[in-house]
């Protein structure tokens, strides 16, 4: 389930509504990736990228293919999840397999929608979720330390790892997330986390689910959550889950007009997808032909042969060179022919690091 974003939240905060909107976006674009297997709790959604539309206007292809991103709807969280309350164990197993956590936090008051804690308090809700994640990590780390202590009796090197793990455990015991651990860049942390996949070491984004008025002007709940997110060096994205569901069913022109009327340029859902894509360390390069204009998903700092392998493994095995035109040059020169004439096409070899937005054609021989 790698490279997925897990949606978490308390009951009645808008998590399911947000996921339903993502699922509708998936269904609306299903023709773009017919070979995906969609699990009941998983949405594979297109990554918004206006550059594809600009390329398509020049090339006039038969179809457009977006990069995609996986979202996983994690079972609702309650106090005591780390001890098995509710669907605790299932919740923790699912979220451990994702790379980024998106916390949907309720930032609106509505007497018709009961809050399980009896009042609206976004920071309390965040604390409940993150406390359960910390407690789960503490248990995992304690078990690992016990095993390391046994190894240390016969292996002196293991004792150094015991000491390091104990320092991390002390950090967690103080109510801190693993992602704020001062030695998180240490190789020993990477070695520990390879198997543990600590929940609190993951990237976090906060989705401030507000009402329509809250979209126009930050209410007190959004302000408090935004201040907390800034302290934690996390993204906070404002959305109205109900409106997001409505937007998915609209035609592009209607949708754009709706957003303009709300005074926003980009929907919350689009922000979540776009920023989540970046948080996962992903980017896109393009191929542009009469059959299709397509965005291919790769990790940042990927070499040309590895990027070619995303299309087909044979492209990497027999890689000769890549013909590369920067997106801006491709558009400015009105396509490949114009870019060639202007000297904007480059020939790149095996060491080339692909840049976001490169329009590429691979030469290979097998």
Chain-wide mean pLDDT for the chain? 87
Report the pLDDT value the prediction gives residue 76, as an integer from 0 to 100: 60
Q: What residues have CB less than 8 Å from 208, skipping those under 6 apart?
A: 105, 107, 122, 214, 221, 222, 225, 226, 236, 237, 238, 239
The structure's pTM equals 0.83
Choose the weakest-confidence range: 101-105, 150-154, 238-242. 150-154
- 4-48+68-120+202-279 topology per CATH: Rossmann fold (3.40.50)
| CATH architecture group of domain 301-364 | Roll (3.10)
CB of 101 within 8 A of CB of 8?
A: yes
**CATH superfamily name and code, 129-200:** Obg-related GTPase Ych/YyaF, coiled-coil domain (1.10.150.300)
Q: What residues have CB less than 8 Å from 176, skipping those under 6 apart?
A: 134
Residue 88 has pLDDT above 70, yes or no: no
CB of 357 within 8 A of CB of 286?
A: yes
Sketch the domain layout of the chain as residue ranges: 4-48+68-120+202-279, 129-200, 301-364
Residue 112 has pLDDT above 80, yes or no: no
**H/E stretch holding 7:** strand 4-8
Report the pLDDT value the prediction gives residue 156, as an integer from 0 to 100: 77
Residue 292 has pLDDT above 90, yes or no: yes
Residue 38 has pLDDT above 90, yes or no: no
Determine what percent of the chain is predicted with pLDDT higher than 70: 90
Binding site, annotated residues: 12-17
DSSP, collapsed to helix, strand or coil, labels residue 119 as coil
Residue 356 has pLDDT above 50, yes or no: yes
**For residue 23, what pLDDT band results from cuts at 50, 70 and 90?**
confident
Binding site, annotated residues for ATP: 12-17
């Amino acid at each position: 389930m790698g490279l997925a974003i897990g949606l978490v939240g308390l009951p009645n905060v808008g998590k399911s509504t947000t996921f339903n909107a993502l699922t509708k976006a998936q269904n609306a674009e299903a023709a773009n990736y017919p070979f995906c297997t969609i699990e009941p709790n998983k949405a594979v959604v297109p990554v918004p990228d206006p550059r594809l539309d600009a390329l398509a206007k020049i090339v006039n292809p038969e179809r457009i293919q977006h990069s995609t991103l996986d979202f996983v709807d994690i079972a609702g969280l309650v106090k005591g999840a780390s001890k098995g309350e509710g669907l605790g164990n299932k919740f923790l197993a699912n979220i451990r397999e994702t790379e980024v956590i998106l916390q949907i936090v309720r930032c609106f008051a509505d007497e018709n929608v009961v809050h399980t804690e009896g009042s609206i308090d976004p920071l309390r809700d965040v604390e409940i979720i993150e406390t359960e994640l910390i407690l789960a990590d503490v248990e995992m780390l304690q078990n690992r330390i016990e095993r390391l202590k046994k190894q240390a009796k016969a292996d002196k090197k293991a004792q150094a790892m015991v000491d390091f793990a104990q320092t991390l455990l002390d950090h967690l015991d103080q109510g801190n997330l693993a992602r704020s651990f001062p030695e998180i860049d240490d190789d020993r942390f990477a070695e520990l986390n390879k198997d543990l996949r600590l929940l609190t070491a993951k990237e976090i984004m906060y989705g401030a689910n507000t009402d329509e008025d809250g979209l126009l002007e930050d209410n007190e709940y959004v302000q408090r959550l935004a201040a907390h997110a800034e302290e934690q060096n996390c993204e906070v994205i404002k959305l109205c889950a109900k409106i997001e569901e409505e937007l998915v069913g609209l035609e592009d022109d209607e949708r754009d007009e709706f957003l303009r009327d709300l005074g926003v340029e980009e929907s919350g859902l689009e922000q979540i997808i776009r920023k989540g894509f970046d948080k996962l360390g992903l980017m896109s390069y393009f191929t542009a032909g009469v059959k299709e204009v397509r965005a291919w998903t790769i990790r940042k700092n990927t070499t040309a042969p590895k990027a070619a392998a995303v299309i087909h493994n044979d492209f990497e095995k027999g890689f000769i060179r890549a013909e590369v035109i920067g997106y801006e040059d491709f558009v400015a020169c009105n396509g490949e022919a114009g870019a060639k004439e202007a000297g904007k096409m480059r020939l790149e070899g095996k060491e080339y690091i692909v840049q976001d937005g490169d329009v590429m054609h691979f030469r290979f021989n097998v």
